[in-house]
Amino acid sequence: MYEVVVIGAGYGGLAIAALLARRGHRVLVCEQSKVLGGRARSDEHDGFILAWGLHVNRFGDAGPAAEVLRRLGERIEWAGEGKAERSLVQFNGRLYPRPDSVGGYLTTPMLSWPDRLRLVAVLLRALRARPEDWYAVTWAHFVRRTTSSPIVLKLCQLFNYAIYAPDIEVTSAGEVIYFVQRALKAPAVTAQPLGGTGQIIHKLERVICRTNEIRLGCKVDRILLDRGRAVGVLAGGEEITAQAVVFTPPVQHLFRLVPDEALPAEFWEYAANLEPTACIAYDFGLREPVPDLNGSVINLDGAFLMGSFPSNRDPSLAPEGMQLASFLNAVAARDVTEKPVVDAETMRLRRWIAETFPGFFDRVLWERRLVIPLVDGVHLRVGQAYPDRHPIASPHIRGLFFVGDTVAAPACSADIAFNAALEAEELIEEYLQGKEP
């Protein structure tokens, strides 16, 4: 019998499985697809290495992904280590260097001197604030309590990009404050694993497979329950028993795995109403490089558009002399099934690329468009912020744990999953030792 069955082999599932394997537990990972990584998987195309949309690791060696690997005796190798990141912001029709410190905001040419002081006042207030006091308040409201300047409010949308929360009017201020407090202290705001996301995935896989098992193409059809306790899974017609089960997809996907009566109506209502983020993502293989830009480019003039040239920082992602370019347009999750909306937003993104980088499409060898209905399991809006999300240990089914980007762990995007894995390690250990979490 396994001690723990982990459902899903994305970042969260691989991280918790590796952490438990390191402690000597018998772990089985069940992944329904034929590849590892979930939303963090990567693909090879004509010598280019492509992620599934834009991916970054926030804070580099100071971030939760690095902490998971550190506990496992591994280290993430970062592309361009020691080199300064050069990123751009499109603001009022021009491109500017993106500030990366309080001092940078104090000198940015994007703002007048009085507005620079107003923006710095917002940042200083955020640095002094307690995130827990602001999760139920919007970031726009937090900014307006310090200044009524519309241009400062517009520039504060930069922090929405940082946590991938497109709408400043609904984004939780507590989530932004949590990010800002760590970003201004971290050695790097964002970092890119050398060779892409596959480096992290393969290192986690290696730790797991030393003593345990990952089954690909293994779809879990049901979580087995016995008197209010999770006791294993049914997968491919096989009953696999375990002392604990870890569910790592977004909680919205739990519907088919447990009967309705196993969880209260308020849980099902909560899961059904969770709003994810979504996007239209484009990857391009370019026959020759366009800009000397090793960070990102962000649009603050309207739609939530951004892009990067990952191979400028990590040449291994593209054949020699060529370039990989990745862009996205964040769209509402409700719109990704509406073809007229998707077509219009696709054209908006392509126009922005052409206007921002003249001659871009003359260099394109191939392109790939993805319409991604679920980028992050939760949009970090008021009502879906850290304190509002589902706990890691189920309060309703003993032995059932949740690890992923929809649970009550701090941070944003995939960093929620890594933080959840770090917290779940101790909770599951206590449970296996006979102590209820």
Residues whose CB falls within 8 Å of the CB of residue 248, separated by 6 or more in sequence, listed in order = 6, 7, 8, 10, 12, 13, 16, 402, 403, 404, 417
Question: What is the pLDDT, as a whole number, of residue 82?
Answer: 66
- pLDDT tens across 164-173, in order? 999 999 999 9
Task: Determine the distance from the C-alpha atom of residue 421 to the mean position of all C-alpha atoms in its chain, rounded to a whole number.
Answer: 14
Is residue 135 within 8 Å of 388, Cβ to Cβ? Answer: yes
d(CA 333, CA 336): 6
Which has more pLDDT, 186 or 308?
308
Task: Determine the distance from the C-alpha atom of residue 292 to the mean position of all C-alpha atoms in its chain, rounded to a whole number.
Answer: 26
Residues whose CB falls within 8 Å of the CB of residue 208, separated by 6 or more in sequence, listed in order = 14, 17, 18, 21, 27, 29, 214
DSSP 291: -
Question: What is the pLDDT, as a whole number, of residue 295?
Answer: 84
Q: Of 421, 432, 393, which Cα lies nearest the Cα of 3?
A: 432
- pLDDT tens across 276-331, in order? 999 999 999 999 988 878 889 999 999 999 999 999 999 999 999 999 999 999 99
Q: Of 26, 25, 33, 85, which Cα lies nearest the Cα of 58?
A: 85
pTM above 0.75, yes or no: yes
d(CA 222, CA 389): 23
Residue 401 has pLDDT above 90, yes or no: yes
* pLDDT mean over 204-219: 97
Residue 115 has pLDDT above 80, yes or no: yes
Select the CATH number that applies to the domain covering 276-372 from these four: 3.90.1010.10, 3.40.50.2300, 3.40.50.1360, 3.90.660.50.
Answer: 3.90.660.50
CATH architecture designation of domain 2-41+197-274+380-432: 3-Layer(bba) Sandwich (3.50)
**Residue 402: enclosing H or E segment and its boundaries?**
strand 400-402
Residue 147 has pLDDT above 80, yes or no: yes
Question: What is the pLDDT, as a whole number, of residue 142?
Answer: 99
Residue 55 has pLDDT above 90, yes or no: no
Question: What is the pLDDT, as a whole number, of residue 173?
Answer: 99
Residue 345 has pLDDT above 60, yes or no: yes
Is residue 375 within 8 Å of 53, Cβ to Cβ? Answer: yes
Burial class (CB in 10 A: 0-12, 13-18, 19+), 103: exposed
Residue 386 has pLDDT above 90, yes or no: yes
Amino acid at site 100: D
Question: What is the pLDDT, as a whole number, of residue 76?
Answer: 97
Q: What is the location of CATH 3.90.660.50 in the chain?
A: 276-372
Residue 257 has pLDDT above 70, yes or no: yes
* pLDDT mean over 106-125: 97
Q: What is the location of CATH 3.50.50.60 in the chain?
A: 2-41+197-274+380-432
